[in-house]
Structure 1
Amino acid sequence: MFMRAFLRAPPRGLLQSARRTLFIQTGTTPNPQSLKFLPGRLVYETEDERGFSSTPSDPPHSPLATRLFTASKDITSCYLGYDFVTVNISTETTWEETKPTVFSAIMDHYASGDAAVLEESEVVSDTEIFDDDSEVVAMIKELLEVRIRPAVQEDGGDIKYVDFSEDSGMVSVRLEGSCVGCPSSSVTLKSGVENMLMHYIPEVKGVEAVDEEGSNQLQNLPGEDGITEEWNPDDDDGKPKMTYEERLKAAGIPFSD
């Protein structure tokens, strides 16, 4: 879906040429409460392509996120990627009601000229390899960054490294963007991410998703049986999108049901 909007130049002397036309495309995700908005221009750029996740209770480090949360109380979180914004909404509303509000907030952001994220608030890379990282941790970070993250971000989400326990062999990660609250997250995490890490790194015995408090992120999710990624004809060139699992297989990553 495309949304065309004319951004009027602010008053007091700005040239007529400062007016721009903004096209916002929306893309479906595996999560029915999440949509991916693509404004056709840079959203948030970092050296390692990591994104910025925010909720209404977080400090106002992102002018764009603040605009979204101010525009609608039904927006529960947002994730800023390189060229997209993923917005999650509560089950108490519908996209038919909320989508125009999101369009408006994004257009207001670009009209303002504000940065998406304040410079002093930019997050440290979760997959940066430090001198004191063990060989196992370094390998986990590299696989997450190079092999897994690109596929997850294509669906409007992200996966971040949190910790590795040498005693249990468990890798802790944090899901963001469209992955938050997604019914198929547990299948993707266990059958895709976990299998891939265990295949290449024998020391890894399992993968778990945790929130900021260290609690299980996948508790109380609806059943994932039969969940598939829907194709939106406005998303691409007319060819059905591959599911995340299909992209894992295409990249040579082991995946099993």
Structure 2
Amino acid sequence: MDNVTISIKNTSNPTIIKFEADKFLTQHESYEFNTIDDAAPSPLAQQLFYLPFVKKVYISGNFIAVERFNIVEWPDVQNEVAEQIETYINNGGVLITDTNIKKKVPVTVYAESTPNPSVIKFVANKKLVQNYHEFKSIDEAKNSPFASELFHFPFVKSVFFDENFVSITKYDIADWNDITMELREFIRVYIENAKDIVLVDKQNLEETHHKVLDAKFETHDDISKEIINILEEYVKPAVASDGGNIEFQSYDAESKIVKVILQGACSGCPSSTFTLKNGIENMLKEMLSGKVNAVEAING
């Protein structure tokens, strides 16, 4: 390969600068390294970490970005770093030795309030789990490293995962204004580092979950099936947007009472009774005329 020329490009972040090559350096892959140990698969990144001001190294298709500590300013050192990178590459230096390493995907997480003042929903820009999971204590969370770590925060009362969000229920001793930023950043970093959310095979879990649901669905009477379908189509999406979940539990043909299980932000929510009576109950009464008298909730 012909010699590579490195040019210096500023970024919107004054602590990060890009050293851009006039040729592709990787096969359209991106790698991020936070420490010299983290950089074991990249001899170039390891070499850069020997510079005392280097905080983070990011290698992408045609550039290497470096984040600095505040002990120096880029104008004082950027030319020497560019020359070091250019010399390394043109002398046949290897950028990445292990292309099978886990690559970090940039993750964003935003906090969203819910109808339950004790619960905040943290929404990520990637899928976290195939199916919902709820943990009421650290003992229940033994199969979820993520939930276990969240329970180490003294104000976390329960954890609920579904699709792309985490709903956290707090104890009353804490104020959301004091803990939301800390929780959001912890969740973002955890997800970005591609750590396990739950210790199960996702594909097998999904297949098993659907098989169980399908088998259970077929055991219900026709009215129960209609109720389940209405909840799935009309109620679940709205409940999920509030950071919770609803599951059908039972239908009594004599009393015409429907029992449902509320989870996540919906569990123990002060407004859940209003939602049940003025939303779900009225909907079922209207769509299943004469078949439903009331809806009762059981907190998950």
**TM-score, normalised relative to structure 1:** 0.69
Pick from 18, 33, 40 the counterpart of residue 13 of structure 1: 40
**Higher helix fraction (1 or 2):** 2
Which of 185-194 and 13-22 deviates more?
A: 13-22
The CA distance in 1 between the partners of 2:110 and 2:267, in whole Å, is: 21
Match of 2:297 in 1: 209
In structure 2, relative to structure 1, the CA distance for the partners of 1:170 and 1:66 (3 Å cut) is same
In structure 2, relative to structure 1, the CA distance for the partners of 1:7 and 1:27 (3 Å cut) is farther
**Higher strand fraction (1 or 2):** 2
The CA distance in 1 between the partners of 2:151 and 2:201, in whole Å, is: 21
In structure 2, relative to structure 1, the CA distance for the partners of 1:21 and 1:185 (3 Å cut) is same
8 Å contact kept, 2:104–2:194: no
Q: What is the SS of the residue equivalent to 2:275?
A: helix
Q: What is the SS of the residue equivalent to 1:175?
A: strand
Q: Which has the higher contact order (CA 8 A, sep 6+)?
A: 1
Match of 1:28 in 2: 113
The CA distance in 1 between the partners of 2:282 and 2:213, in whole Å, is: 19
The CA distance in 1 between the partners of 2:235 and 2:34, in whole Å, is: 40
In structure 2, relative to structure 1, the CA distance for the partners of 1:37 and 1:60 (3 Å cut) is same
In structure 2, relative to structure 1, the CA distance for the partners of 1:140 and 1:13 (3 Å cut) is same
Q: Which runs of 5+ in 1 are unaligned?
A: 1-5, 213-257
Indicate yes or no: 2:215 matched with 1:189.
no
CA drift at 1:168: 1.7
Q: What is the SS of the residue equivalent to 1:130?
A: helix
Indicate yes or no: 2:259 matched with 1:178.
no
Amino acid at match of 1:13: A
Aligned-residue sequence identity (percent) comes to 26
8 Å contact kept, 1:127–1:144: no
Q: What is the SS of the residue equivalent to 2:140?
A: coil
In structure 2, relative to structure 1, the CA distance for the partners of 1:137 and 1:111 (3 Å cut) is same
The CA distance in 2 between the partners of 1:69 and 1:7, in whole Å, is: 28
The CA distance in 1 between the partners of 2:164 and 2:125, in whole Å, is: 7
CA drift at 1:188: 0.2
> 1:127-170 CA distances to partner (integer Å, 9 max, x unpaired)?
64533221011111111111100011111111111112222211
Q: What is the SS of the residue equivalent to 1:186?
A: helix
Match of 1:152 in 2: 239
Amino acid at match of 1:167: E
Indicate yes or no: 2:105 matched with 1:79.
no
Indicate yes or no: 2:184 matched with 1:103.
yes
Match of 1:90 in 2: 171
Name the count of aligned residue pairs.
202
In structure 2, relative to structure 1, the CA distance for the partners of 1:112 and 1:19 (3 Å cut) is closer
In structure 2, relative to structure 1, the CA distance for the partners of 1:111 and 1:83 (3 Å cut) is closer
**TM-score, normalised relative to structure 2:** 0.60
The CA distance in 2 between the partners of 1:192 and 1:127, in whole Å, is: 25
> 1:155-192 CA distances to partner (integer Å, 9 max, x unpaired)?
11111111122222111111111112221110001110
8 Å contact kept, 1:7–1:20: no
The CA distance in 2 between the partners of 1:66 and 1:41, in whole Å, is: 21
In structure 2, relative to structure 1, the CA distance for the partners of 1:211 and 1:25 (3 Å cut) is closer
8 Å contact kept, 1:172–1:207: yes
> 1:14-63 CA distances to partner (integer Å, 9 max, x unpaired)?
454445543221111111211111121112124xxxx2221114242222
Q: What is the SS of the residue equivalent to 2:219?
A: coil
Spell out the pairing of 1:34-49 with structure 2 (5 A cutoff).
Answer: 34-46=119-131
8 Å contact kept, 1:127–1:161: no
> 1:85-128 CA distances to partner (integer Å, 9 max, x unpaired)?
11111111111332244224313432442332222695846864
The CA distance in 1 between the partners of 2:136 and 2:33, in whole Å, is: 27
8 Å contact kept, 1:7–1:22: no
In structure 2, relative to structure 1, the CA distance for the partners of 1:127 and 1:143 (3 Å cut) is farther
In structure 2, relative to structure 1, the CA distance for the partners of 1:67 and 1:161 (3 Å cut) is same
The CA distance in 2 between the partners of 1:21 and 1:114, in whole Å, is: 14
> 1:233-254 CA distances to partner (integer Å, 9 max, x unpaired)?
xxxxxxxxxxxxxxxxxxxxxx
CA drift at 1:205: 1.6
Q: What is the SS of the residue equivalent to 1:43?
A: coil
In structure 2, relative to structure 1, the CA distance for the partners of 1:34 and 1:44 (3 Å cut) is same
